[in-house]
Structure 1
Amino acid sequence: MAIKAVFVPLARTTFYMPSAEENFSKSVQLLKNIFENIKVPDSLITEPSDLSKYLDEVSEPDLIIYQCTTFIGSEFMYEIMRKSKCPVLIWATREPSIDGTRLKLNSLTGAFSAGNSVYTQNRDFDFIFGNPDEDSVVESLTKYNKAITLINSLKELIIGVVGNQPAGFGFGNVNETDLIGTLGSRVARIEAAAIMDMAKNYTKEEVAEDLAELNACTINTNIPDENMEKYARLHKAFKTFVDENNIGALASRCWPDFFTGFGAPVCAVLSILNDNNIAASCETDIGGAISMFIGSKLTEQATYFGDPVAIDEECDSIVYWHCGAGASTLANKSCGAKLGVHPNRKIGPVMDFGLKSGEVTVIRLGKDQNGYRMFMYKGEALDEPQKFYGTSVTVKPQGGKAAEYVKKFVNDGWEPHFVVVYGDITKEIEIMCKLLKIRLFKY
């Protein structure tokens, strides 16, 4: 859902109004292109009383964009803080000219005044500098829109949890009270046995579409029909649980239950859920599922959930791997989304391929004694062959030195599951962590 933004362009008429009016007009046009739901005034606001009336027309905005179109005093910011609790983005524009003559706008000093007012009140704010036609300004506003949209999505998120964490995997659990307090997200639980019972009761006709979907997006060379049908039954049951509970992310038990109790892995089910915008992690890792949701919301594509299993010294990279739940849409085009058998249990279908190359951000919502924290680094997924049976991707951290990175990660006590997101989402993650008061570890 689109965030509710409010543009507050302020000016003093003693400054050079033609330049101020030009910036105002261009800013309105830009903001309407970025924000789907934004309130803008008909003209520059020059009096605190007019600002008060303007703010009364909007209830509970998600973001206020405070433009010091010229220099203004702190009385305007005080009025905003009195009427609103949301973050404020302070925007200063450039001087029209620096030529030894009149100071025409003095916008930057107005931003200092506003920043001091907000800072001393311990309120959330940030600063951007530049004219509305500059790429850096467009990028900053766009990333704020995406980050706050993500925060609102997290507040509405319901995380489906299938079963409990396997023995020794307690790091994947969360305190649901802390989760609601920090993110606003909720949990809906079901036992793995209940999913299997649902799956057993479908007819072949009822799961035909589920099977057809898998066949359409994968390459199957050796998986028996019986196992493919079991996949379809499990997918139907998972999808029913997701749809009935309005689930946006899912953390599922996998071994040993689905192998011993149903005779099929859940890997391919999670893969297809990820392809269909339901962030899905295995080994009941709830923090991992939330991390996948964050990455998929910011990039509008599937993310990859994996263990850091090796350091490849030849390409100075970290190999992330998992048994076979990688989204089919992430397969390297050189091999395609092949189906295989689980590398340990020798039962299919699971995904069996190397992932595509590209710019990536590796993230993880984790926790320690002080609450939630966020892991992040930029890197490049290399065009490397599949490293192990299952799915894998080889990530070179920005600047290399993979072994040094891994040492830091282990020494800082991070959980052994990470999420590889295709694209650069570092700024959005920084904004999210700042506003949610989550400590960010940026490597």
Structure 2
Amino acid sequence: MLKLGFVPLHRYPFDENWAIELKNRFIDVLSKEFRDVATIVYPLEKHTKMGLVTDDVDARNVVKLFKDEDVDGIILTTLTFGDELAGALIAEEFRGKPIIIFATKEPPTLPGGFRRSDSFCGTLSLASALYRRKIPFMFGGIVFPEDQEFRRAMDVFIRVTNIVKNFIGARIGIVGPRPERFETVTYNEAKMAEKYRQRVVNMELLEIVEEAKKLSDNDPRVIDVVNDMSKSVDLSKISKEYVLKLAKLEVILSEKVKEKSLSGLGIRCWTEIQRYYGVSPCFVMGRLTDRGIMAACEVDVYGVLTMIMQYSASLGKTPPFFIDWTIRHPEKPNVFLAWHCGNMPPSLCLPGTCNLVYHSIMYRDVGVEKAYGTLEGRVKPGIVTISRLVEYDGEFKLFITRGRALDEPGPFRGSWVWVEVSDLDKVYRTLIEEGFVHHASMIHGDYVEPLVNAAKILGIKAIVV
């Protein structure tokens, strides 16, 4: 549950009765419409004059209130002209948190021509104060709280706030080193720590494997995972030996995530784990992602962070699919194959197309008997967002595009789906020229706007195609 701080800005001599009425309307809508995802924190009359924010004294009291409540984002609303310095004081104290500014529509003019609000004029002053201080913010529009435009802007802001909250301070566990020939998944641990307070938590692949081997087939934790696996996919095509190995691996990885407070995992998924443990971890990775533990292939730390951003944008409602950018459709110029070896989250599987089988690539090196563990089949169709985080010379960039996963068959092994975008040539060229890599994260739904705004708050350059 997020906590959002609501700041009701007012300036004398504008109509304080109108400001109080409007404040109460905003609080009522915010508290009712978004109660399932956010708690609204706001000043009462014991905190500020009339429960409004009119000067620096009020602003400092609100800062204390918000810090005590540990709010995740700030809603600055000019109910009348608003005091820009009071708003700026609060924004300065929460620099780095998502901030949205709302202007409000005008009430009828009083007899004698007195303007009761003049909100937009004050909003310009407030926005310029934040801009001058280089504090990033969103503008939600000129609204009444009952407007659909307000609800839509708040929906985006809540998703942005969730992205920022989960991105800052993320702890990414890596299981083993990256593949030696995959320089593409290198990362800058120092910059992650410096800019975003993130940490990479190293774990030995051998240690994970040895702990999994020690688990009994009758361990209640293992049995629970096997039973849960059977609910999501037909296990009859592989031996129980392999199912148990997969379940044990999932138990250990899940416990490591809890023990070390991890946000996600980058896993060395070939070929050592096949050689020395006897399964491919793809199905387990997809199941972890389904459970909200983002798991990326080939120890791709920035890939995990991209998945976290997408999953947060969905408010945890749908899991992403960690993909490779691959081939163009032989007949459709704007369609490409979104593919990976077998790590699709089971909830994304198009019914009737998925099977738990052996790895279509690794078996050539390790043999079929050590390669079981891939969930192969088609991803369900629908609108999707595809994105990828990279970093060069300390600058982080986020590629974002939207597309449509198609309901179209194909001859492929692995987890896959044909995806149509508006201009595949431009997508391919942008990926190449901007230094993006062959891994990306794809999630069902259109989350372009929340991702772009979150990137703005985080100081990440958004590149939208």
**TM-score, scaled to structure 2:** 0.87
- 1:414 positional shift: 0.8
1:123 alignment partner in structure 2: 135
Q: Would the aligned equivalents of 1:93 and 1:107 in 2 still touch at CA under 8 Å? A: yes
SS at match of 2:407: coil
Which residue number in structure 2 is paired with residue 110 of structure 1? 122
Match for 1:280 among 295, 306, 311? Answer: 295
1:8 to 2:15 alignment: no
Query: For the residues of structure 2 that align with 1:87 and 1:351, how far apart are their CA atoms?
Result: 38
Distance in 1 of aligned mates of 2:6 and 2:413: 53
Structure 2 portions without partners, runs of 5+: none
Q: Report the equivalent of 1:93.
A: 104
Does 2:62 correspond to 1:55?
yes
CA deviations 1:139-164 (Å, max 9, x no partner) are 22232233223322233432111111
Matching residue within 244, 265, 270 for 2:280: 265
Q: What does residue 333 of structure 1 align with?
A: 351
Pick from 128, 152, 167: which aligns with 1:139? Answer: 152
Counterparts of 1:255 and 1:179, CA distance in 2: 26
Contact 2:11 2:83 in 1 (8 A): no
Q: In structure 2, the residue corresponding to 1:219 is in which secondary structure?
A: coil
1:351 is aligned to 2:375: yes
Rounded to whole Å, the distance in 1 between the matches of 2:94 and 2:323 is 41
Q: By how many angstroms is 1:83 displaced?
A: 5.3
- Measured in 2, the distance between the counterparts of 1:242 and 1:113 equals 46
SS in 2 for 1:308: strand
Residues 238 and 156 of structure 1: is their aligned pair in 2 closer, same or farther, counting only changes over 3 Å? same
Matches within 5 A, 1:358-369: 358-369=382-393
**208-217 or 388-397: which moved more?**
208-217
Q: How far apart are the structure 2 equivalents of 1:57 and 1:81?
A: 13
Runs (5+) with no aligned partner, structure 1 = none
Q: Summarize the alignment of residues 16-415 of structure 1 with structure 2, pairs less than 5 Å apart.
A: 16=15, 19-33=18-32, 34=34, 35-42=38-45, 43=50, 45=52, 47-48=54-55, 51-52=58-59, 54-55=61-62, 57-60=64-67, 61-80=71-90, 85=95, 86=97, 88-96=99-107, 103-129=115-141, 130-206=143-219, 207-299=222-314, 300=316, 301-315=318-332, 316-335=334-353, 337-344=354-361, 345=363, 346=368, 347-397=371-421, 400-415=422-437
Alpha-carbon distance in structure 2 between the residues aligned to 1:70 and 1:105: 4
Query: What is the SS of the residue equivalent to 2:420?
Result: strand
Aligned equivalents of 1:331 and 1:176: distance in 2?
34
Aligned in 2, Cα 1:50/1:408: closer, same or farther, shift over 3 Å? closer
Partners in 1 of 2:145 and 2:380 — Cα distance?
36
Q: Deviations over 1:357-379 (max 9, x none)?
A: 11111011112234321111111
Q: Distance in 2 between matches of 1:83 and 1:237?
A: 41
Residue 190 of structure 1: how far off its partner (Å): 1.4
**Is the deviation greater in 322-331 or in 186-195?**
186-195
RMSD, aligned CA: 2.5
* Amino acid in the other structure paired with 2:21: E
Q: Give the Cα separation in 1 of the matches to 2:373 and 2:288.
A: 15
TM-score, L = length of structure 1: 0.91
Report SS of the residue matched to 2:123. helix
Q: How many residues align?
A: 439
Query: Following the alignment from structure 2 to structure 1, what is the Cα–Cα distance between the partners of residues 302 and 404?
Result: 23
**% of aligned pairs identical?**
23
